[in-house]
Amino acid sequence: MTTDSKMQILKTALNMFLRSSYKEVSLSDIVREVGLTKGAFYHYYRSKEQVFEEATRYFYNHVAIMDYKKFPRTSLKDFYLAYLEKMQDSPEGIDNPDTGNTNVFIFISEAIRHVPDFFEIHFAQKKKECWAWAEIIGIAKQKKEIKTTLPDDHIAMLFLNVSDGIAMNSALSRRNMEEAKLEVKRDWDNLYSMLTK
């Protein structure tokens, strides 16, 4: 057994939880999908609950959050265009939430019920996102790219809330995520236009 096996279990389980639901995915389903014995599974995880908790942490630390250090610092517009482009990428071995084969909102609602420190995990990720956006917004103000007296973190939350709202509405209406990305771009372009006037 190696740590590769543990990661294989984790990624396989995460994909299954994203495609189905916590209730619908059994421990036997995970074991069968990974191709290990139950004994091998128990070498790494005590239960389905434990693998779900770790899958939730993995989702927030590697799927839902981006490596903002790799985004351009040339302008706010370059930053958000890079963000939109990166939205299509998922870590190796993880289904892309934008393909329509997953339902992130069901996954998150189940994590709220089954992961004791879910809100700490969720808000820590939101804080990192807000900080990265606020940083580029501060740079854009210094370069006089945008003209506003609104606080940097308030503008950051406007960008993030627009994308979160569109993503949620798209999931609820079962719209194509490509359409949702175009809508996010349109609204971010409009917000950017207002900030540059």
Which pLDDT score, from 0 to 100, does residue 31 have?
94
Residue 16 lies in a domain: no
Is 53's pLDDT higher than 60? yes
pLDDT digits (tens, 9 = 90+) for 13-32: 999 999 888 999 999 999 99
Q: Are 110 and 173 in contact (CB under 8 A)?
A: no
Which pLDDT score, from 0 to 100, does residue 180 have?
83
- How many domains does the chain divide into? 1
How does DSSP classify residue 18? H
Structure tokens at 9: 């279990």
Residue 20 lies in a domain: no
**Rounded to a whole number, what is the distance in angstroms from the first to the last CA of the chain?**
59
CA–CA distance, 136 with 180 (Å, rounded to integer): 24
The torsion of the CA quartet 112, 114, 119, 120, rounded to 10 degrees, works out to -160
Q: Residue 101's domain is classified under what CATH number?
A: 1.10.357
Residue 19 lies in a domain: no
The range of the structural domain enclosing residue 119 comes to 48-196
CA–CA distance, 73 with 78 (Å, rounded to integer): 8
